[in-house]
A and B are shown apart, each in its own frame.
Chain A
Amino acid sequence: MSFWDQAIEVARVDFRIERRQADVIRVVVPFALMALLVFPLAMGLDLAGLRRIGPAVFWALGVLFGMQVALRESAEEASSRRDLYALAGLDPAARFTGRAISGSVLTIGFFAALLAGMVVVYNPELPAGWLPSTAAAAGLVAIGLTELGTLAGEVTIGLRNRTTLASLIVAPLAVPLVIGGSQTLDSLVRDESILPWVLLLLATDLALAVTGVGLARPLEEASR
């Protein structure tokens, strides 16, 4: 089985498990949508203020809850499963890639729900052409965030308080993603090119992909 066949097989099974467990739909999405409502409740009837902060709230909640998609319970592997994969000949880099594919798709779906919720609740003033640019930026942020979360999950595998530790690793390293994502929309508002921010997101995604694939084998061996 080729590298890509293995990666796609891992992603396929991740989707199947998510369909049965529904960690993202039942846990992450409802909590994120509830969090969207916190700011309007805190700010009262300051509709102008809400319209201004809407996109910022989207990116902040997107990163915070997006990490939870990558670190969801159903993506954890018992040591017996890791042994099984090793003896089945699964390339750890293919496993990382498969995990990144499935997590990215789920995170993009989560971002879509969060973006729709933000537009409905905050009614922000959005420039022309905001949807394709924001969708592209959100897609790239989702991929980077998933790669980062998958990598952090591998580093903290088998540790107590794994989710907390992994979040602490992801949060500071996600800064380029947050900046790139949020500045894409800001650039549109200022009528400037979004290209530098898209390139920043692409470069971050690529660097994380190379790191994840390169470290997959040593991290797996070290986790035993």
Chain B
Amino acid sequence: MPGPLILTSVGIGLGGFTILRDVTVSVGTGEVIGVVGGNGSGKTTLIRMMATLLSPRSGDGSVLGARMGTSEVYPVRRRIGLISHIPAVIPELTLADHLQHVVRLSGLDTGRIPAALRAVGLDGAADRKGAESSFGMLRRTEVARLLIAEPEILLLDEAFSGLDSEAVSLIDVVIERTLARDGAVVIVSHDRSQMRFTRRVFAIEGGTLRAEP
């Protein structure tokens, strides 16, 4: 059975630049892989492509059975969870309103929001606007969203950076729950110490992905 995330000789570019080329990797069910690389190496571009937010310029890829770069990806997007290095929380809304908005758009049960906020320790700060919240609080809000969304593919782009140990353990919970559902996880970071869940680690070097021994 094919894995939920497969890339075969994929090339990715932005504007007139080729960022990555000949990327071949697959992530199986219940598997965590890690990708390390320096600043500007193309880690974020790679994870955005895995999230179907960018289309490959060459090669083939599929996510949850949907062929990348085609309209097949639209219906599977809501089964993908992404934590990007910039928290995706609407700054003008309160944390509770933001969650309410995104959970409604996703067609999920808004009744789960209070429990998710409690689980990430934000029940006392739910009425705080995103613009007035700390980085850690925004991250916890994203974790609360993922606890509700229960994605089948979890993509973490520098998700642990700048967090205290309690917040890091909350993301660990999301990873464990994704794996328990036979999901797949990709952790991308410049910091190798964040690769603790991974069975396989790849490094981005010279514009391509190489498996580390």
Residues of A that sit less than 8 Å from B by CB: 1, 6, 9-10, 13, 16-17, 20-21, 74, 78, 80-81, 83-90, 221, 224
Point out the residue from B53, B92, B101, B107 that lies within 8 Å of A89, measured CB to CB: B107
Q: Give Cα A20 to B132, complex, Å.
A: 13
B167: chain A residues within 8 A (beta carbon): none
Q: In this complex, which of B78, B93, B105 has the most chain A Cβ atoms within 10 angstroms of its Cβ?
A: B105
Q: Give Cα A83 to B92, complex, Å.
A: 17
Report 6 cross-chain contacts, Cβ distance below 8 Å, ordered by A residue: A10-B105, A16-B92, A17-B90, A81-B88, A83-B48, A84-B88
A87: chain B residues within 8 A (beta carbon): 51, 53, 77-78, 80-82
Q: Which residue of B lies closest to A84 (CB)?
A: B88
Docked-complex contact A1 and B107, CB < 8 angstroms: yes
Docked-complex contact B92 and A74, CB < 8 angstroms: yes
Docked-complex contact B104 and A9, CB < 8 angstroms: yes
Judge whether B87 is part of the interface by a CB distance below 8 angstroms.
Answer: yes
Q: Which residue of B lies closest to A1 (CB)?
A: B107
Point out the residue from B52, B87, B97, B105 that lies within 8 Å of A80, measured CB to CB: B87
Least distance between A136 CB and chain B CB atoms (Å): 33
Residues of B that sit less than 8 Å from A by CB: 48, 51-55, 74-75, 77-78, 80-82, 84, 86-88, 90, 92-93, 97, 101-102, 104-107, 129
Q: Give Cα A195 to B80, complex, Å.
A: 51
Point out the residue from A1, A9, A89 that lies within 8 Å of B77, measured CB to CB: A89
Q: Give Cα A89 to B76, complex, Å.
A: 8
Docked-complex contact B102 and A84, CB < 8 angstroms: yes
Top 8 A-B residue pairs of the complex, sorted by shortest distance between their CB atoms: A89-B78, A84-B88, A80-B88, A1-B107, A88-B105, A17-B92, A88-B106, A80-B86
Docked-complex contact B77 and A13, CB < 8 angstroms: no
Docked-complex contact A17 and B93, CB < 8 angstroms: yes
